[in-house]
Chains A and B, each alone.
Chain A
Amino acid sequence: MAYSDKVVDHFNNPRNMGSFKKDEEGVGTGMVGAPECGDVMKLQIKVQNDMIVDAKFKTFGCGSAIASSSLATEWLKGKTIEEAQKIKNTDIVQELNLPPVKIHCSVLAEDAIKAALADYQKKADGTTSAAK
C-alpha cells in the first residue's frame, strides 16, 4: 500500500512536533492510544483568550498516525475552541487521502483533539472556580 504524497510530506516534515509543559497556563493535553495496534498520540494546545495560539504533538505509530496528528496541529492553530471542536476525523481522511485500513489513525487524531480540548476546559474551569 502506498502512502499519499500528503502523508509522506507530513511524515518527512512533521509540523509542530514536540511538547509543552503540561502544567503551563492555557495548555491542554490529550493523550490517547489505539489498543488494537499499539499507537500512542499526545496532542497539546496552547490557548489564549479562547484562541488556540499554538499546538504540538508527539506520536508513536505508523506514518498515517504521524501525518494525522501533524495535520491536526496545523489545523488547530488559529482556531477558537468552538471551531476546534468541529474538526472531524473524516476531514483528516479526506485531506490526507487515507485508505480504509488507516481510518483509525484519523479517529485517534480526533480523539486526541477532543481530549486536549477537554483537558484545557477542565483546567480553565478549575482556575476560575479557584479564583472565586
Chain B
Amino acid sequence: MDHQHTHSSNPRELQMARSMCWHCQSEVSGEYFCDRCVKVQPVSKETDYFTCFGFPRRLTIDPGKLEAKFYELSRAFHPDFYQNKSETEQSISFGNAATLNSAYRTLRDPIQRVEYLLDLEAGSVKEIRNSPPADLFEEILELQDTLDEYRASDRASDAGQQLRTTLQAEQQTLEERKRDMETQLQQLFTDWDLLQDRGEATSQARSERDRLLKQMRETLSNRTYVKSIINDLVATIG
C-alpha cells in the first residue's frame, strides 16, 4: 500500500491519472492541457491537492514556491483567456480554478495542511483513535469552573480582580503550551518528510509512519482543545 505514497522527483509523471482527452481522445498523461490539441483538461476528483500543484506529499512546503505555482496555474485558468473558447472549456477552467483555490487555501496553512494529509493517509480522521487526554480534560473543566465563577462575580470587587489575574495567568500558560504543540508539529513535519524521502517499504518504516500519523493526530487534537479554551478565556476576560 505504500507504493502509491512514494513519489518520483519528476512532477510530470505523478500528476493526474492517465486518461483520455475529452476533445481529441488522445491519451493525456496528467497534465492540465492536452499535448495534441492543447485543450484544457479537468482536474480529476481523485487528484489530491499536493498533486494539483505538482508537489510530493510532504509537510514542509516553501510558501513562496506554493504561491508562485498557484499564481501560475491561476493565470492558466483565468476566465479572461476563455472568453472566446467553447462552453466546455469555460466550465472546465472554472472548475479547475475553484479546485486550485481550495487546494491553495488548504496547503497554505500548516494546520489545515496536516489535517488534509491525515485524511489522505489515514482515511477518515476518526480512524485514528487516541485515548483521550484525561489530565488535559480535567484541567479544562476546572478552568471552566473558574470562568463561571468569574462571570458570576462582581468584576470590580477584590475577588473579581483576583479571579481575573488567575485567569490571565492561565491564558498565558495555555498559549505557551499551544506554541509548544506547534513546535512539536513542526518536528513531526520534518520527521514525516524524511521518512517519505527515504521511501523504504520495510515494516519498520511502516510502523514509523503509523507512529508519526498517530502523534500528529494527537498533537492536533490537543491543540484544538487548548485553542478552544483559550478562545473562551479571551472572550471572557478580553
Q: Tell whether A37 pairs with B228 under 8 Å between CB atoms, given A31-B137, A42-B137, A60-B144.
A: yes
Chain B's interface size range is 10 to 19
Within 8 Å CB of A10, what residues of B?
A: none
- Interface flag for B94 (CB, 8 Å): no
Within 8 Å CB of A32, what residues of B?
A: 132
B111 CB to nearest chain A CB (Å)? 13
- Interface flag for B101 (CB, 8 Å): no
- Interface flag for B44 (CB, 8 Å): no
Determine the main DSSP class of A at the interface with B: strand
A38 touches B229 (CB 8 A): yes
A35 touches B227 (CB 8 A): no
- Chain B 92-139 interface residues, beta-carbon cutoff 8 Å to A: 125, 132-134, 137-138
Q: At the interface with chain A, which of B12-20, B82-90, B217-225?
A: B217-225
Within 8 Å CB of A42, what residues of B?
A: 137-138, 141
- Interface flag for B140 (CB, 8 Å): yes
Chain A's interface size range is 10 to 19
**Distance between Cα atoms of A37 and B227 in the complex (Å):** 10
Within 8 Å CB of A60, what residues of B?
A: 140-141, 144, 228-229, 232
B232 CB to nearest chain A CB (Å)? 8
Per-position binary interface string of chain B over residues 201-232, scored 1 when its CB falls under 8 Å from any chain A CB and 0 otherwise: 00000000000000001001100110111001
B203 CB to nearest chain A CB (Å)? 28
A33 touches B141 (CB 8 A): no
B125 touches A40 (CB 8 A): no
Within 8 Å CB of A37, what residues of B?
A: 224, 228
- Interface flag for A36 (CB, 8 Å): yes
Tell me the nearest residue of chain A to B145, going by C-beta.
A58
Known: A31-B134, A33-B137, A58-B141. 18 other contacts (CB 8 A): A31-B138, A33-B132, A33-B221, A35-B217, A35-B224, A36-B125, A37-B228, A38-B224, A38-B228, A40-B137, A40-B140, A42-B138, A42-B141, A58-B144, A58-B145, A60-B141, A60-B144, A60-B232
